[in-house]
């Protein structure tokens, strides 16, 4: 009965997706033919040049499209609804929603959220996901963190891939400094930031009965924290005074600092969780590579959060060379940069992640904040730390 219900819902969703894609294809072909062919007599420019071959091609495309999507549905069904998983009634909606969610993830990797193609496809797919989430999430107990994990995966992760957001003008402001956002957009982004923190908190304080979903939660936590930090920093940056006052910005900055400290503590405690350790011990090489990437990312974001905390200590005149934050930062930074056979970056490199590991390490070293604290620790604490930026002379060596 569960499979039949899932199959029915999947059929409806696949047909809707086929309609969406079909409209995009017809529109693209029509524009192409308008540019290529001269319109003669009374021929319809939107059909001229492809009406003879277009119909048969589209029929073939529709057949392949439906077949591939049903295969995708079956793969998701087998992965998430079996004797080892929990809440099968809820996962019927999850499995079906993963089909349109695949579009959101793929588009999120290649397009910015304000790209017309991204919006024209993700708006209807998000509407389907919202309906399925509302129906399915009610079937999971409030005390189980799988609800929040589901919400993050569908409504935050596609934007976290590029550290952006559907209505976020941050990347526009970087390209066009005069660009502004409205008060409504700012409030919307702030509410999403608050909701993201609530999700992170739930995933670190609630249990997830389904061990496979618990594993998903662990693997997604570092990126989740990274995304939160990026958003919190931007929302406390200078904005037009008609949107938010300096006092309000300072309150947001202070509040985000308190919440970031909690997130840092959760990330630091993550390796001590038994389920985290079990995954490293029992999973095969393919999954081990993914988990080593998670651990490298975890260390990277913990370092970033430590730097934010050190900045706040300097601002509050509480910075000390030998306090807990400084000691932890120095130790983790040197372990992260130094490498060696016991380092996480080296283990990751040895099983095929060398390029990504090099990029992640380089991103940290070349970050202006990282170089700032290298100089501060050397000048005021007489401590040499690893990781000199190739842009050092442009950052702080001149000062």
Q: Which residues contact 396 (CB under 8 A, 6 or more apart)?
A: 368, 371, 372, 375
Is residue 222 within 8 Å of 159, Cβ to Cβ?
no
Angstrom CA distances, 207 to 69, 79, 320, stand at: 33, 21, 37
| Strand, coil or helix: 66 | helix
Residue corresponding to tokens 């569960």: 2
263 Cα distance to chain centroid: 16
Whole-prediction pTM value? Answer: 0.84
Q: How distant, in Å, are the alpha carbons of 73, 84, 268 from that of 101?
A: 12, 23, 31
pLDDT tens track of the chain, all 399 residues? Answer: 789 999 999 999 999 999 998 888 777 777 766 666 554 444 554 444 445 455 677 788 889 999 999 999 999 999 999 888 899 999 999 999 999 999 988 888 877 766 777 788 888 999 999 999 999 999 999 999 999 999 999 999 988 876 544 334 444 344 334 445 677 777 788 888 899 999 999 999 999 999 889 888 888 899 899 888 888 877 776 555 556 677 777 777 788 888 999 999 999 988 877 566 555 555 555 567 777 788 888 888 999 999 999 988 898 888 899 888 899 999 888 888 876 556 777 777 766 666 677 677 777 777 778 888 888 898 889 988 887 765 554 444 444
Dihedral sign for Cα atoms in the order 343, 348, 353, 357: negative
Structure tokens at 306: 């430590």
Q: Name the nearest CA neighbour of 240 among 169, 181, 170, 187.
A: 181
Residue 261's Cβ-count burial label (10 Å; 0-12, 13-18, 19+) is middle
Place of tokens 């936590």: 221
pLDDT of residue 165: 43
Residue 144: strand pairing partners: 207
CA distance 6 to 309: 47
DSSP state letter for 270: G
Kindly list the domain boundaries of the chain, sorted by start residue: 1-139, 144-282, 318-399
What pLDDT shows up at residue 399?
46
Place of tokens 């979903």: 213
Residue 70 neighbours by CB distance under 10 Å = 15
What 3-state DSSP class applies to 115? coil
Judged on CB neighbours under 10 Å (0-12, 13-18, 19+), 398 is: exposed
Q: Which residue has the tokens 């372990």?
A: 335
- Tokens read off for 233: 């920093």
Angle at 342 between CA 337 and CA 343, to 5 degrees: 30
Structure tokens at 124: 């209807």
Ordered alpha helix ranges (H), the chain? 2-36, 54-80, 88-110, 116-137, 146-155, 157-160, 170-175, 183-205, 211-235, 246-269, 274-282, 285-315, 324-338, 344-348, 354-365, 368-381, 392-395
Question: Distance of CA 4 to CAs 1, 7, 134, 186, 252, Å?
Answer: 5, 5, 20, 44, 49
Tokens representing residue 378 in the block: 């050397």
Query: Which residue in 370, 295, 298 sits closest to 334, CA to CA?
Result: 370
Residue 43 phi, psi dihedral angles, 5° rounding: -70, 140
């Amino acid at each position: 009965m569960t499979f039949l219900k899932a199959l029915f819902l999947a059929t409806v969703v696949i047909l809707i997706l086929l309609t969406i894609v079909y409209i995009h294809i017809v529109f693209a072909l029509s524009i192409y033919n308008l540019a290529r062919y001269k319109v003669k007599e009374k021929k319809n420019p939107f059909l001229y040049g492809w009406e003879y071959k277009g119909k048969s091609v589209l029929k073939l495309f529709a057949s392949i499209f439906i077949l591939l999507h049903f295969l995708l549905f079956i793969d998701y069904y087998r992965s998430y609804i079996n004797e080892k998983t929990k809440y099968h009634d809820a996962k019927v909606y999850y499995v079906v929603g993963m089909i349109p969610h695949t579009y959101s993830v793929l588009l999120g990797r290649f397009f910015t959220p304000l790209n017309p193609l991204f919006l024209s496809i993700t708006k209807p797919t998000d509407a389907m996901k919202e309906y399925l989430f509302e129906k399915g999430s009610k079937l999971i107990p409030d005390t189980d963190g799988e609800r929040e994990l589901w919400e993050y995966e569908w409504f935050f992760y596609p934007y976290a891939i590029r550290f952006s957001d559907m209505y976020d003008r941050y990347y526009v402001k970087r390209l066009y400094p005069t660009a502004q956002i409205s008060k409504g957009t700012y409030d919307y982004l702030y509410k999403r930031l608050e909701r993201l923190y609530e999700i992170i908190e739930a995933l670190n304080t609630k249990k997830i009965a389904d061990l496979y979903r618990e594993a998903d939660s662990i693997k997604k936590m570092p990126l989740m924290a990274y995304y939160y930090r990026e958003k919190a920093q931007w929302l406390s940056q200078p904005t037009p005074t008609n949107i938010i006052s300096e006092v309000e910005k300072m309150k947001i900055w202070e509040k985000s600092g308190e919440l970031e400290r909690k997130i840092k503590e959760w990330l630091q405690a993550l390796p001590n969780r038994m389920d985290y350790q079990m995954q490293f011990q029992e999973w095969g090489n393919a999954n081990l590579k993914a988990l080593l990437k998670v651990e490298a990312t975890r260390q990277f974001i913990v370092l970033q959060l430590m730097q934010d905390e050190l900045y706040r200590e300097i601002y509050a005149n509480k910075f000390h060379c030998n306090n807990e934050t400084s000691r932890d930062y120095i130790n983790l930074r040197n372990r992260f940069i130094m490498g060696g056979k016991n380092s996480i970056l080296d283990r990751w490199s040895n099983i095929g992640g060398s390029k990504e590991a090099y990029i992640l390490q380089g991103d940290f070293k070349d970050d202006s904040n990282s170089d700032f604290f290298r100089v501060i620790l050397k000048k005021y604490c007489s401590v040499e730390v690893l990781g000199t930026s190739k842009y050092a002379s442009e950052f702080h060596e001149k000062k």
